[in-house]
Chains A and B, each alone.
Chain A
């Protein structure tokens, strides 16, 4: 916990750097899933920081379309050693639009929604069987929760009392075709997870110290997996796109990228 508080300023600084990288990737030849990458960034930064505190934790970005956010967060967290901007979406490099295990530091393929939740649960089961510490941390989108596979995995995690399984929901309210509330709303989300047998927590998904504090609490002896509902803003940090559904996939030119990077907050 002390480590989390002491390093919070550093983590916030990492997030600012990562946001600039994501904007640069949006200005690359392919564009990127900008809104979801920016909404999940602070969660990723906090999760990687948590995973760095032991040998046995894994972070799985199940909402794999936020790959640009993942690569940026991995780079500023020291997991990747090359700047992803120059390679994102380009031939000859493993920085695909959805994460590939060909990229060092990425353990599982994600992008087809739901799978990352089950992969992280499997990892948690492995640590439990081994009698070892370590969390399986999955980060899913709120739209992703419409996938049945998510709830299959949650059912198993609760049934097998995987207290070391943590599902963080990046609740940015958006999905590909619009708003979650318009397409397939999911009210009472915390109650749903609670009914499944999860401990639950709700947090500002852009408050890195608060997320770190939740992830930093020991899960030993809890007997239930943990769902963290992180309320986020699509496009967070770039005022022109914040909260806009149109930020889901964005391709911009370099001049606009420069303008947006000056606006990062």
Chain B
């Protein structure tokens, strides 16, 4: 059984900190009890309380002093409540702070819109210098955390709540495109983003095995430009699947990077979710499900 993205982050960071005394783990009261980093490295674990903006700025202070701070809080609070700290500390200052943001998309489900985050790509992608990753599965999350520790660059890492996802056969997160299935050049290519986007693309591939499928882990402009070059060399028609608003999302960005390609996006649209339900039910209500992906494939195939 694989770990959820959140647990994989905690496990990997805890292991890395055994050999790197500069790693510091900060939480804003949403790390839960029994955090492995706290039990293994209590002198480098700090629950700073419900103070997201201060946490990110203090992480900036730690980074300038030579440490590698990893901070974690729910995506809506990290990206929207603490947006200015994100801009100044990770962007302008370029401090080597990593934000790990669970509860991205609508993974918060029945907790409601305050606990959803469908705007993070739009916000963080507009802040130059921040590496953005949306890993799928335990292995990819571990690889992204390792890379963040090594690089010293500011990172934003998006993940969901507690669901676990089976890692792709190749979990080399450093590839610009992880080709789960390269497919024929004339076939429609699914482009998966994030945990649920990847799950849906794999589901579509089960129904239509001829579809190509490229998975994107890193999503900042720098990485996406490389991915766009690889994608457009291999295919012409794309269906981009992401648990995000259409505006500021990855499909929109790829459209600008691949002006000669046909792209249709599958996303959660522009509604607000104000009903209960589990993650899958909320996504379906917002039009983000397998039928939507297959319908988008039909559209792309008709081009």
Contacts and interface: CB of A to CB of B under 8 A. Distances in A.
A156 B48 CA distance: 6
A122 B44 contact: no
Contact of B43 (A58, A108, A129, A153): A129
A121 to B, nearest CB: 5
**Interface residue range, chain B:** 20 to 34
B61 A149 contact: no
B46 interface: yes
A155 B49 CA distance: 9
A141 B59 CA distance: 23
B66 A126 contact: yes
Interface stretch (A8-16, A111-119, A241-249): A111-119
Contacts of B120: none
Interface in A87-119: 100-101, 107-109, 112, 115, 118-119
B24 A156 contact: no
Interface stretch (B84-92, B178-186, B208-216, B232-240): B84-92
Given A118-B54, A156-B51, A159-B49, A126 B88 contact: no
Contacts of B57: 115, 118-119, 121-122, 149, 153
A115 B57 CA distance: 7
B1 interface: no
Interface string B40-76: 0001101011010111011111101111000000000
A123 interface: yes
A121 B49 contact: no
Contacts of B88: 109, 112, 115
B93 interface: yes
Interface residues of A, number: 28
Contacts, number: 90
A126 B43 CA distance: 11
Chain A CB within 10 Å — which of B24, B48, B84 has the most? B48
A155 B64 contact: no
Chain A CB within 10 Å — which of B55, B65, B92 has the most? B65
A125 B85 CA distance: 18
A41 interface: no
Contact of A126 (B48, B61, B85): B61
Chain B CB within 10 Å — which of A100, A120, A156 has the most? A156
Contacts of A130: 65
A119 B65 contact: no
A136 interface: yes
Interface in B254-294: none
Nearest to A136: B61
A156 B55 CA distance: 9
Contacts of B84: 112, 115
A160 interface: yes
B24 A149 contact: no
Nearest to A121: B58
A138 to B, nearest CB: 10
A156 B58 contact: yes
A118 B61 contact: yes
Given A123-B64, A129-B67, A155-B49, A108 B93 contact: yes
A152 interface: yes
Contacts of B61: 108, 118-126, 136
Contacts of A126: 61-62, 64-67
A222 to B, nearest CB: 19
Interface string B215-227: 0000000000000
Given A118-B58, A126-B66, A101 B49 contact: no
A127 interface: yes
A107 B85 contact: no
B20 to A, nearest CB: 13
Contacts of B93: 101, 108-109
A153 B60 CA distance: 13
B23 to A, nearest CB: 11
A159 B51 CA distance: 12
A152 B82 CA distance: 12
Top 8 A-B residue pairs of the complex, sorted by shortest distance between their CB atoms: A122-B61, A126-B65, A122-B58, A118-B57, A152-B54, A152-B51, A123-B61, A118-B54
Interface of A: 58, 100-101, 107-109, 112, 115, 118-127, 129-130, 136, 149, 152-153, 155-156, 159-160
